Amino acid sequence: MSSDAKPAVFLRQVSKKYPIYDHPSQKLLELLSFRRKQFHREFWALQDVDLVVMPGTTLGIVGQNGSGKSTLLQIVAGILKQTRGDCFIKGTVAALLELGSGFNPEFTGRENVFMSGAIMGMRHDEIRRRFKEIIDFAEIGEFIDRPVKTYSTGMFMRLAFAVAIHVDPEILLVDEALAVGDLIFQHRCINRIRRMRDQGKTILFVTHDLQAMTRFCDRAILLDAGRKLEDGSPEHVSQKYQALIFERERKSIGADQVWQGNGSAQELPVVSTIPYVHHRYGNGSARISGIILYSKDGKVANEVKADQEVLLVISARIERSLEHPIIGFTVRDRMGVEITSSNTSYEGLHLPAAAPGSVITAGFRMHIPMLRPGSYSISPAIAQGNIWEHSIEDWIDNAYIIDVLETGLIYGAMRWPVEVSFRIS
């Protein structure tokens, strides 16, 4: 932390109100009204948010869609003005906000680098000096002299990111930028952000990727409906956030759909929620439409213990006829290491051919092994073929997160069942 203990970001009771017009004509009526009559409803995107971020902190910001994350960053960036409350920033800010901000689509990449660099406070000769480094990082080649409206989303974001990090700001704001771009670029961005963090920069990082958040933030906040619900360690906030999602999910699943611990095929609930969808791929003949892990009492389980009996339910909607469907899953630890995988075919269950419009639901009943406590992800998939030769129709990476609770001391990744004996001679 820097020697003077002044916060880099200081928000006090920050609120942001948007007027909501149910019809465009209402705005006109309001403008024409002599008595200042209001024709709109009020909507508070942020409410009474207090936030003190000390220099050198990497702060993760999580929350469901529409919870106010982008609004908060835009206020910190000075792009939006809060309706109420105070916002003080100490240091130069570079912002990598949602797509589009800062770039003019009609201008070329080169022109945009100079313009957005200047907006973020870089001098012309400074930008010229770093120009090659910027376009090398963005890897967009000859596209640099074409209008950015011809860029793919990934190229656009790569260039925006390259400019933002080469501005060398004291405070970097990143809004969900890592969700676009390919994996290699994401890795480079993460390395770069990590380096900035190590240099003592302040970083505010909005993401839906809880793994990435816990990996490199040292503090996190949870926003919900414009309010700050949690503020603490990334692990704590990520758990609270998952609990919130699961609670809402549980309420949205009818009581009749809850597994009663018996697990016969007729009683398998068709599930229709997927907690996280960031990376999905496949030929698209079927789409995963839900994944839920139930504990034996029929409750949605996001926390499990060694030896606990659970039922993993995966539903998939068939888009084009599938001759030999296979439904399966992969479990990974928080570092992304595959722990195990299984599927209907591997377990000796042959699923019948499926017609378009139908929904196949598979239930995997299992006992949680004695794993090291911590967060694990489940990636569901539907494929076509057999275990040796198949095509992936839909695969969602890390769609479901579970927490394995501590039940005793475990050395290494798991407790390997051991029977010990001895003899003295």
Ligand X SMILES: Nc1ncnc2c1ncn2[C@@H]1O[C@H](COP(=O)(O)OP(=O)(O)OP(=O)(O)O)[C@@H](O)[C@H]1O
Summarize as ranges the residues that interact with ligand X (CB under 6 A): 18, 20, 43, 45, 63, 65-71
Q: Annotate 22-36 with b (16+ C-beta within 10 A) or e (fewer).
A: eeeebeeeeeeeeee
Partner from ligand X, Mg ion, none contacting 63, C-beta within 5 to 8 A by type = ligand X
Tell me the closest approach of the beta carbon of residue 75 to Mg ion, in angstroms. Answer: 13
Partner from ligand X, Mg ion, none contacting 66, C-beta within 5 to 8 A by type = ligand X
Which of 57, 58, 70, 116: binder of Mg ion (CB under 5 A)? 70
3-state secondary structure of 73: helix
Partner from ligand X, Mg ion, none contacting 68, C-beta within 5 to 8 A by type = ligand X
Residue whose CB is less far from ligand X, 71 or 375? 71
Tell me the closest approach of the beta carbon of residue 229 to ligand X, in angstroms. Answer: 13
Tell me the closest approach of the beta carbon of residue 75 to ligand X, in angstroms. Answer: 10
Partner from ligand X, Mg ion, none contacting 295, C-beta within 5 to 8 A by type = none
Tell me the closest approach of the beta carbon of residue 1 to ligand X, in angstroms. Answer: 28
Burial class from Cβ neighbours inside 10 Å (0-12, 13-18, 19+) for residue 136 reads: exposed
Binding to Mg ion (CB under 5 A) within 146-205 occurs at: none
Binding to Mg ion (CB under 5 A) within 258-317 occurs at: none
Partner from ligand X, Mg ion, none contacting 65, C-beta within 5 to 8 A by type = ligand X
* CB 193, CB 174: distance < 8 Å: yes
Residue whose CB is less far from Mg ion, 48 or 98? 98
Tell me the closest approach of the beta carbon of residue 69 to ligand X, in angstroms. Answer: 3
State both tokens at 241.
């956030």
* CB 302, CB 246: distance < 8 Å: yes
3-state secondary structure of 328: strand
DSSP state of 322: B
Number of residues that bind Mg ion (CB under 5 A): 1
At 276, give phi and psi (nearest 5°). Answer: -130, 125
Strand order in the sheet with 58-62: 93-96, 171-175, 202-206, 58-62, 219-224, 227-232
Binding site residues, Mg ion, CB under 5 A: 70
